[in-house]
Amino acid sequence: MGRVASVVIMAGGRARRLGYVCKPLMRICGDRLIIKSINVGLKVSSNIVVTYTKYTKEVTEVCDEVGIKCVETRGEGYSKDLSEVLSRTNLPALILPADLPFITYAVIKDFINKALSLNASVISLCVIDNDTCRLVGISIIKELGGNEALIPYPPSIELMDVDTLNDLIKVKEACASMEGLGRE
């Protein structure tokens, strides 16, 4: 597998579409949402940074529990927060969101291998659903600025994210259907 120097987990959003909850700490299938991203990130790099904002300060408790670095950003939006943390991060960096309850190492490993083989500065995973590209927050940043590329993936349970109440209902239904089955 190709190597990344850092993993950045973005956990600072307001979760407007979910009623302004601290989304990374929501329990899905018994675990807090952010834990899945942290566990997958730890398989990729020992240099993990979780970003949080004034809206998600509670995330620092999880960082303390698992012994990883948390960095507060200004909370001025995803792009600005990402730029702020990347200025202090070793590249290439894998960017993960804190809202993918079923993400697996296998998917991330495949994405990293594909992304690092491309001649682009920023590569994002794009879920193709009904001929529409839906970004889920997974990217590789090789260098700041430069050209961008997308890697298409079909819809899958591993790439389900929780942005809306409808997403939350679908994810909880998926949890119920997996009850009793082993999860990675």
d(CA 139, CA 149): 10
Structure tokens at 146: 């430069």
Residue 145 backbone zone (phi > 0: left; psi -120 to 50: alpha; other: beta)? left
Q: Which pLDDT belongs to residue 172?
A: 83
Q: What is the pTM of this model?
A: 0.88
With tokens 């997308």, the residue in question is 150
Question: Picking from 10-24, 83-97, 129-143, 158-172, which range would have the lowest pLDDT averaged per residue?
Answer: 10-24
Q: How far is CA 114 from CA 74, 125, 144, 149, in A?
A: 32, 10, 19, 11
Mean pLDDT of the chain: 87
Confidence of residue 20 (pLDDT cuts 50, 70, 90): low
d(CA 100, CA 51): 16
Assess whether pLDDT exceeds 80 at residue 84: yes
Residue-level length of the chain = 184
Angle, helices 33-44/59-66, rounded to nearest 10 degrees: 40
Q: Which pLDDT belongs to residue 184?
A: 44
Q: Are 7 and 45 in contact (CB under 8 A)?
A: yes
Confidence of residue 166 (pLDDT cuts 50, 70, 90): confident
Structural domains of the chain in order of their starting residue, each with its CATH number: 6-178 (3.90.550.10)
d(CA 46, CA 134): 29
With tokens 């943390």, the residue in question is 85
Closest-CA residue to 62 (of 19, 14, 102, 26): 26
